Amino acid sequence: MNSRECLFLGCVVLLGLSLGCATTPGDVRLRADGTPLSEKCPEKSLEVMRYLQLFVGEAAWVQLDANQSRARTITLYDGPIESVLDEDIGTLEAPARLYGRVWTGGAQPVIRYYAAKRMRGGDTVPICAVARLGFGQLRKLPESKPGTAVLDSSRAGVYIVDEFR
């Protein structure tokens, strides 16, 4: 077992010990436009991210929707999302899966990730990350209907955070 696998296994054990204390991630109050208010990153997620060497501000590319990877335009819906990590970040190796939630109420979707799972086995571990693109590139296209966000790219940056703002 290499050091990355030992580190990941340690995080899984910590997660298993904390399941009784878990709250529902993404269950936040919304603003009038349907976007989520700030949300603290759970202490257990911060602890696991330290073990996984996922430091605030680190970033990688992600395919926003595992079911629409590499498509020219994609449609995101309010609710759960499964994304695919295109690059390693910390000790989390691509093509790991990221699990989170999408809110489409504002001018651009808000995507928060609460968990990750390595593709080479292992349990799901808690994290805090967001999807972002600069220069307004994550803005919804005009054909977006309520409850959806039509985007002209299937990729975005995923950034590690210590609080959702």
Could you report the average pLDDT of every consecutive run of 10 residues in the chain (165 residues)?
A: 53 42 69 94 97 96 95 96 96 96 96 95 93 91 96 96 96
Full residue range of the structural domain in which residue 121 is found: 3-19+30-164
Tokens 């691509």, located at residue: 94
Find out whether 73 and 150 touch, Cβ atoms under 8 Å.
Answer: yes
Q: Which tokens go with 54?
A: 């996922």
Question: What are the CB-based long-range contacts (under 8 Å, 24+) for 18-25?
Answer: 18/44, 25/101, 25/112, 25/114, 25/115, 25/126
Please tell me the predicted confidence (pLDDT) of residue 52.
93
What pLDDT was estimated at residue 15?
Answer: 45
Q: How many domains does the chain have?
A: 1
CA angle (102 as vertex; 148, 145 as ends), nearest 5: 10
In a domain, residue 24? The reply is no
Angle (nearest 5°) at CA 118 between 132 and 73? 40
pLDDT in tens, 41-63: 999 999 999 999 999 999 999 99
Q: Is residue 25 part of a domain?
A: no
